Amino acid sequence: MKKQLLLGSALLAAISVYPQNGRIKASPSGMKDMSKIIAARFATESIEVTPTPNAKQVNPVQNPNVEPEQSSSAVSMPPSTINWKPICGSINIVGMLVSQSQPLNYNDELNAVSFIHRKSLSYTAYPAIPANAQSGVIVAEITSNWGNTWDSTVIWADATNWGRYPQGGIYNPVGNTNISNAYVVGMGPVTPPAAGWVGNWAASRQLNAFTNTLSTTPNAQQYLASNLASYAPNTGPFAFGRYGFSATDDGVVRSMGWIMDDPSALTGMRGLSVVKGSFNAGAFNWTNDSIVPAVILKQDGTRNIFTQMSNMAWNESGTVGYVMVMGAASGATGSNKGAFQPIIYKTTNSGTSWAQLPGIDFNSAAMAPLLDHISSISSNTALAIPFFNDADMVVDANNKLHIGATFKTGFSNHVDSLAFSGQFTVSINPGENYSWPHTPGQHPYLYDFIGDGTAAWTVKTIDSLSTEEAGVAAGDDGVNDNPWAATGSAGSKTDNVDSRIQLGRTPDGQYVTFSFSESDTNFTNGGRKYNSLPNVKTRLMRVAGLSPYEVSPTEINATKVAVGTGTNNPSVSSRGTLHYLSPKTGSATISTVGTTTNVDVYTPMTVTNSNPLDPILNNTTWYQTGKLSYVFLPINGVAENSQNSASSSVIYPNPASNNAVLAIDLKDNSSVDVNVMNALGQVVKTTKANAQTGSNQINIDLNGLSTGIYIVNVKVGNATSTKKLIVQ
């Protein structure tokens, strides 16, 4: 059975939303201190440059006969044109570990995509620098034809300050339409030969020449030490400028880093520094503002804040921006008292001032259905605390923030244990622990939290995931299912192959793309729930329309390509590690076919891997050159009446197998009746649910149905709607 057929069974959210379903939640069997794991992962740097001896090749690139994904029939999928091409290499994968970095960026004014990376083993930068400094050379790749051809240019090389964790994009002077007059800009942390973290690199270069010789323009390369006196007194040390890079229409580029007591020792996390780059005579002047949230303190006085999971997003004009950091906000109680929950700041004046927004209120009735998908804390069976596991963000056409995220079970509400998440045993893999029990209703769900501070946050369910990240250290749960080779004397692995959620919006902000990584458990070792065969999936949300924030029923497997939707590449199929999605995609091309709407979006996306999968082997970055195509189904009612109305209802996945989901928005609490009828009009399946005001997802059981076309009748009060459903 293929993965697309499993999507229906993966999306068992709705049946578990309602308390009357009688499902008993799993109890945690243990706990895990995520603060140590995240700190180790996000601040490591390998200096090894030789392959690991025991690494093995997987899916050799010279093999042209790897079977494409058959899971979704061509007639049910719109005609995407997925195609992966190699564009560059890097000396190791460490610089791409942070999914909140933005090395991949699309500039719609110039129709150009940039990708910033550390150089490959074969790349030589001039003037020459010592051999041990070569790993710190930063290179920019540029394409103006959606990745069919690329040019490269070096932007940073320094003998004593080695570039790490690169990100960046294209600065385009206001009114310019010629890429030769634009500049590529990048930023990231630096480490010296003696190791440790001492500051940041900032680099820029005009795109009128592509060369491996450094620019001689004054201030084209700038080293920003973490303790520079020029920083404002309330800012504190600024470190790890590797988050949320953007270039907006106001002619400003921005990055973000940490404020901490000792960057080299990675201690004393305080807050975030928003770094602003203003163009000046061929280079950039850098200034910054500090954001230091009030958070719950541990008993020893240290702060429950985790800047390693932070991000920043802006609207197209650069007037409205948001900053997010994970922490336990001061005064939080109940289900909101978690160290890994979003603390959000907003500006409406291009960053002149920032204000903290009310957080997502998990104590509210509106969020209660989400808590049904996680377990309670260890000391109180009536209290569940979301523990955000992965997140990304963009700003839409209405200047609202979208936080795409998964969350798991928080283990405790004690101030010293807020960074501990629950662990569960799974029958399919005894002896190892998971972050979810992976039972119906209790596995990872990808949510979109939408808000701007003017009203309560709303939430949409985007998809569900079958797998979770694997371990990295010897003895960790799932480490043997981690596809990357181990390195060093300790036998640790560099990447945990997490879901790596990424969000991107169209230039007008009317469509939001969500991407994530997961594995098909039909093919994992013994059906285990670790992301050992990662493929990148995408979903699309429409912001406006009769049904605002509607999610297309189309799920695209962008790396294991379905028949009729592009070219399958064995070098990325089931090897979709370390993927990035540009925070800005191409514009949407919209067409109507019959009663359905097709939306095509060119979606800049990369995957980085090596063959074999060795973190210190020179790797390859692959770029997706084609369009991704989605279908939006017509809104047929359920018709509005005086008692109730539904602004939208859609069934997905379609085609489906075993289970499908009815997504429906209601103005009032109401009962929903769902009848599935065969071609003879006979009712073959019936589902009843007591739905609530707002967004609902109702499970439709399809077990035992033969392959074919069925009619689904949805009744809400006196209003009805019929939809076609394909079972395969």
User: Using CA atoms, how far apart are residues 119 and 92, in angstroms rounded to an integer?
Assistant: 9
- Co-location of 701 and 570 in the same domain: no
The string of pLDDT tens digits covering residues 579-609 is: 999 999 999 999 987 778 999 999 999 999 9
694 within a domain of the structure (yes/no) = yes
Instruction: Answer yes or no: is pLDDT of 63 > 60.
Output: no
321 within a domain of the structure (yes/no) = no
User: Using CA atoms, how far apart are residues 315 and 249, in angstroms rounded to an integer?
Assistant: 9
- Co-location of 597 and 504 in the same domain: yes
Quick check: 692 and 666 in contact, CB under 8 A? yes
Beta-sheet pairing, 84-90 with 433-434: unpaired
pLDDT band for position 231 (cuts 50, 70, 90): low
- In DSSP terms, which residues pair with 602 in a beta bridge? 627
pLDDT confidence of residue 449: 98
How many CA atoms does the CB half-sphere of 413 hold within 13 Å? 17
**CA dist 545 to 185, 634, 664, Å?**
36, 11, 15
- Co-location of 657 and 599 in the same domain: no
Nearest CA to 583 among 404, 353, 340, 446? 404
163 within a domain of the structure (yes/no) = no
Q: E strands along 192-249, which residues?
A: 199-206, 221-225, 238-248
Quick check: 268 and 292 in contact, CB under 8 A? no
User: Using CA atoms, how far apart are residues 112 and 116, in angstroms rounded to an integer?
Assistant: 13
The string of pLDDT tens digits covering residues 451-504 is: 999 999 999 999 999 999 999 999 999 999 999 999 877 788 999 999 999 999
Instruction: Answer yes or no: is pLDDT of 270 > 90.
Output: no
Sequence-distant (6+) residues with CB within 8 A of 677 are 683, 684, 710, 711, 712, 713
- Co-location of 624 and 653 in the same domain: no
The string of pLDDT tens digits covering residues 478-491 is: 999 999 999 877 78
How many CA atoms does the CB half-sphere of 328 hold within 13 Å? 28
pTM (predicted TM-score): 0.83
What percent of the chain has pLDDT above 70? 86
The string of pLDDT tens digits covering residues 288-347 is: 899 999 999 999 999 999 988 999 999 999 999 999 999 999 999 999 999 999 999 999
User: Using CA atoms, how far apart are residues 714 and 676, in angstroms rounded to an integer?
Assistant: 9
Backbone angles phi, psi at 715, to 5 degrees: -125, 125
- Co-location of 629 and 667 in the same domain: no
The radius of gyration of the chain's CA atoms, rounded to the nearest angstrom, is: 25
pLDDT confidence of residue 643: 39
Q: H or E segment at 6?
A: helix 3-10
- Co-location of 476 and 554 in the same domain: yes
Instruction: Answer yes or no: is pLDDT of 636 > 50.
Output: no
- The DSSP-derived string for 646-669 is EEEEEEEEEEEESEEEEEEEESS-
Instruction: Answer yes or no: is pLDDT of 717 > 90.
Output: no
Single residue among 634, 662, 678 that ends a domain in this structure: 634
Report the first-to-last Cα separation within the chain, whole angstroms: 11
Single residue among 576, 603, 634 that ends a domain in this structure: 634
Instruction: Answer yes or no: is pLDDT of 16 > 90.
Output: no
Residue with the bigger pLDDT between 4 and 483: it is 483
Phi-psi region of 531 (alpha: psi -120 to 50; beta: other; left: phi over 0): beta
How many domains does one find in the chain? 2
pLDDT confidence of residue 272: 94
pLDDT confidence of residue 637: 40
User: Using CA atoms, how far apart are residues 713 and 677, in angstroms rounded to an integer?
Assistant: 8
Neighbours of 567 (CB within 10 A): 13
Q: Which of 98-102, 370-374, 621-625, 674-678 has the lowest mean pLDDT?
A: 674-678
How many CA atoms does the CB half-sphere of 173 hold within 13 Å? 16
Phi-psi region of 318 (alpha: psi -120 to 50; beta: other; left: phi over 0): left
Single residue among 634, 669, 699 that ends a domain in this structure: 634
**CA dist 361 to 9, 43, 365, 387, 637, Å?**
29, 31, 9, 13, 31
- Co-location of 570 and 660 in the same domain: no
User: Using CA atoms, how far apart are residues 607 and 82, in angstroms rounded to an integer?
Assistant: 13
436 within a domain of the structure (yes/no) = no
Instruction: Answer yes or no: is pLDDT of 529 > 80.
Output: yes
User: Using CA atoms, how far apart are residues 535 and 515, in angstroms rounded to an integer?
Assistant: 10
The CATH number for 656's domain is 2.60.40.2550
Structure tokens that stand for 148 in this block: 């069919």
Quick check: 255 and 167 in contact, CB under 8 A? yes
- Co-location of 594 and 471 in the same domain: yes
Neighbours of 554 (CB within 10 A): 25
- Co-location of 608 and 676 in the same domain: no
704 within a domain of the structure (yes/no) = yes
pLDDT confidence of residue 265: 61
Quick check: 366 and 374 in contact, CB under 8 A? no
- Co-location of 546 and 506 in the same domain: yes
- Co-location of 630 and 652 in the same domain: no
- In DSSP terms, which residues pair with 659 in a beta bridge? 657, 701
The string of pLDDT tens digits covering residues 101-137 is: 999 999 999 999 999 999 999 999 999 999 999 999 9
Residues of the domain holding 535: 48-94+465-634
Residue with the bigger pLDDT between 358 and 78: it is 358
622 within a domain of the structure (yes/no) = yes
104 within a domain of the structure (yes/no) = no
Instruction: Answer yes or no: is pLDDT of 439 > 80.
Output: yes
- Co-location of 523 and 666 in the same domain: no
pLDDT confidence of residue 36: 61
Q: Which of 144-158, 405-419, 696-710, 711-725 has the lowest mean pLDDT?
A: 711-725
What percent of the chain has pLDDT above 90? 67
The string of pLDDT tens digits covering residues 425-434 is: 998 888 899 9
Q: E strands along 30-134, which residues?
A: 30-33, 84-90, 104-107, 112-118
